[in-house]
Structure 1
Amino acid sequence: MKGWMQLIRPSNVLTAISDVMAGLAIACLFMQQSLPDWPTLLLLSLSSMSLYMGGIVYNDVFDFKLDQIERPERPIPSGRVQISQAVQLGTIAFVLGCVLALKINSTCFYIALAIVLMCLIYNGIAKHHFILGPICMGMCRGLNLLLGVAAIPAALAYWPLALVPVVYIAAVTNISRGEVYGDNKKAMLVSLVLYLLVLGTLSYYTLQSGLYVAFIFIAGFAFMIGKPLFKALQTLAPPDIRKAVKFGVLALILMNASWIALSGFWVLALAVCCTLPISIVLAKKFAVT
């Protein structure tokens, strides 16, 4: 069981809930609607988690040979999980995510299919490309945000906001290039600029909405990503870089809570934040990267 849990990285999967909730909150803000009923929220959350699980399992499937060299302790190269079993789990997770999305509406279904396609492109082709890799990984998260937006299909007119998680995850992915060998200061400085761009965008929309309570969430987000990144910039050591990546992934919850809060749904923002301590505990037991 521990091998399977290490494979699916439960702390990462939990962050997917915040993506779709942020997308839904943004859709409600711009379309001036209230949140849909709880079954829709549940379907969105489960669909997003399943799609994320499929992507992260296939990440290890495609990295099997590389992990034999760099991370032989991972579940597949160590033999604790057979590669055929991992393929089955990843496929089932993808199919389940798409079926649950279809239960919401056809638009969500098509976006779920796009997420599956982008995950496979990233894992199979783009991952090791210097520019294409971070962009494709970011697009997976951007599409996940749009999965939440698509619960109100007309709100997809505001799709450019999905570029924010694209930029953010591209920054985190860029940092992760040094988590094995370290010494990637230039890449981390680029990511710092991208982080500032994301923080600036969140601050701008908070000022536009007039819901300044969102700055509390933004401040927490900035602290969570900034502290480990600055330490990694000082040491350039792989453990510190891995920590910067770890908190970059987990901080997605606070970034998305910021979107939810500035959309006027501060109770939902607090509920999403409640997943953060759970993710942190899980991240201590099962690696994020």
Structure 2
Amino acid sequence: MSPRPGRLRAWAELLRVSALFTVPGDALAGAATAGRAPGRGTALAVGASLCLYEAGMALNDWADRDTDAVERPHRPLPSGRVAPGAALAAAGGLTAAGLALAAAAGRPALVTAGALAGTVWAYDLALKNTPAGPVAMAAARALDLVLGATATAPADARGAARRALPSAALLGAHTLAVTAVSRREAQGGSALPPLAALAATAAISRAVAGRPARPQGVGASATAGLCAAYGATAARPYAHAALNPSPQLTQRAVGGGIRALIPLQAALAARAGAPATALPLVALLPIARRLSRKVSPT
């Protein structure tokens, strides 16, 4: 007998399936920074990233179940649509699956995935509500990009990781800004985080567009266009939340910031000289936007 539609929707909400489209670009951008075409290792890194991301979503709601019972009683755990034990088991199983996929890509990828998994669990269980929370989340995204680089080029993992660091830092900076905004999404009331996120978006766009790996030709044009798409995706909801920091508009700003990861990842790949990898990523943006209207990414 197949699961009831209501049960499937509850798990889709728990796992934030609309945000899944922001994950594959981490590994693909990492592969581009490594100077390699995506291959088997990249595919394994994408699978590992998806598993670890979903593990983080399930663990996040398990850790926040008491708070959500007050602030978000409609969420799957406090509403009783998903049992807390099932969410915790899913987090553990997905973490194990992610590490197994990374191990299949080689020891360097497993080491990176282990650091990523540790960061995810530390964030959800200990760091989320501390000043270190946004930094931990930024580190997780940065490590995810490095995972793509080390899995794609295991024979030169150290060099690949070193080449990936500038792009990983930019991706982490964006994630830091989004996470800072998300800390007020249930209460609203502060214009400072979205204003800071606006400034960060502008700075990241300048940094990416200003230093393409191939300063002429298709790669440079693609990088400039994708930076514009990144800014357009993030800036408008941030501006709305800054003008009216209500919980609803703050939550929309977080959703916009999450979706903006897609054109940012594409811009980083194009900057690294891989426009053929970058451009298909942009096709994920309208899909993520449409699905977010049915299942919130936050």
TM-score with structure 1 setting the length: 0.93
Aligned mates of 1:9, 1:182 — CA distance in 2: 21
User: What amino acid is the match of 1:212?
Assistant: A
Which ranges of structure 1 fall in alignment gaps of 5 or more residues?
29-33
User: In the alignment, what sits opposite 1:96?
Assistant: 97
SS state at 1:280 partner: helix
Aligned mates of 2:106, 2:284 — CA distance in 1: 26
TM-score with structure 2 setting the length: 0.91
Q: Give the one of 250, 261, 273 matched to 1:241.
A: 250
Give the deviation of 1:133 after TM superposition.
1.0
- The answer on whether the counterparts of 1:209 and 1:263 sit within 8 Å (CA) in structure 2 is no
Give the deviation of 1:94 after TM superposition.
0.7
Question: Is residue 191 of structure 1 aligned with residue 191 of structure 2?
Answer: no
Aligned mates of 1:41, 1:112 — CA distance in 2: 13
Aligned mates of 1:196, 1:275 — CA distance in 2: 22
Give the deviation of 1:46 after TM superposition.
1.0
SS state at 1:285 partner: coil
1:11-50 equivalences in 2 (<5 Å)? 11-28=18-35, 34-37=36-39, 39-50=40-51
- Deviation sequence 1:194-238 (CA, Å, 0-9, x none): 222211211222276333221011101001101111111111111
User: In the alignment, what sits opposite 2:296?
Assistant: 287
- Deviation sequence 1:108-157 (CA, Å, 0-9, x none): 1011111111011111111111x311111111101101101112212112
- Deviation sequence 1:233-278 (CA, Å, 0-9, x none): 1111111111110010011010000011122222211221122222
Question: Is residue 257 of structure 1 aligned with residue 280 of structure 2?
Answer: no
- Deviation sequence 1:34-75 (CA, Å, 0-9, x none): 4143x3332121111111011111010100110000001000
User: In the alignment, what sits opposite 1:179?
Assistant: 185
RMSD (Å) for aligned C-alpha atoms: 1.4
User: In the alignment, what sits opposite 2:9?
Assistant: 2
Question: Is residue 160 of structure 1 aligned with residue 165 of structure 2?
Answer: yes
- The answer on whether the counterparts of 1:55 and 1:120 sit within 8 Å (CA) in structure 2 is yes
User: What amino acid is the match of 2:288?
Assistant: S
- The answer on whether the counterparts of 1:10 and 1:279 sit within 8 Å (CA) in structure 2 is no
User: In the alignment, what sits opposite 1:76?
Assistant: 77
Aligned mates of 2:282, 2:84 — CA distance in 1: 35
Aligned mates of 1:24, 1:95 — CA distance in 2: 23
Which ranges of structure 2 fall in alignment gaps of 5 or more residues?
1-7
Number of equivalences: 282
- The answer on whether the counterparts of 2:198 and 2:239 sit within 8 Å (CA) in structure 1 is no
Kindly tell me: are residues 35 and 45 of structure 1, through their superposed partners in 2, closer, same or farther at Cα, counting changes over 3 Å? same
- The answer on whether the counterparts of 1:14 and 1:49 sit within 8 Å (CA) in structure 2 is no
Kindly tell me: are residues 208 and 265 of structure 1, through their superposed partners in 2, closer, same or farther at Cα, counting changes over 3 Å? closer
Determine what percentage of the aligned residue pairs are the same residue: 28
